[in-house]
Amino acid sequence: MSESITPAISDRICKHMNEDHTDAIILYAKVFGNTPDTETAKMDSIDPEGMNLSVEIKGETIPVRVIFDHVLKDAEDAHHTLIDMIKKARTSKG
């Protein structure tokens, strides 16, 4: 059984995403956060229902909430869901 999504797990996932996958976070914001003009984005937190991003558009930082298509069961589910979402985002971008 994988770990439930606690604040510590959220911090770990966000740190990894912000350090290694900023391009994915920008795509999440553009496609799932309905902010197609996103220039930069940072993952602030993740919970079973969704993720909170800080998105920069034209020099202004705005909060964006992206809701998942299902409630995440655990950290492993979060990992697979984030991967599935980036695949969907890439195909929807053309």
Q: Which of 89, 26, 17, 85 is nearest to 55 (CA)?
A: 26
In a domain, 20, yes or no: yes
In a domain, 25, yes or no: yes
Q: How many domains does the chain have?
A: 1
In a domain, 2, yes or no: no
| CB-CB contact of 2 with 74 (8 Å) | yes
In a domain, 55, yes or no: yes
Q: What CATH number is associated with residue 79?
A: 3.20.180.10
In a domain, 72, yes or no: yes
Is 62 strand, coil or helix? Answer: strand
CA distance 61 to 82: 23
Is 17 strand, coil or helix? Answer: helix
Domain that holds residue 67: 7-92
Q: Which two tokens stand for residue 60?
A: 């202004």
pLDDT tens digits for range 22-73: 999 999 999 999 999 999 999 999 999 999 999 999 999 999 999 999 999 9
- pLDDT of amino acid 1: 54
Residue 93 in this model has a pLDDT that exceeds 80? no
| CB-CB contact of 68 with 81 (8 Å) | yes
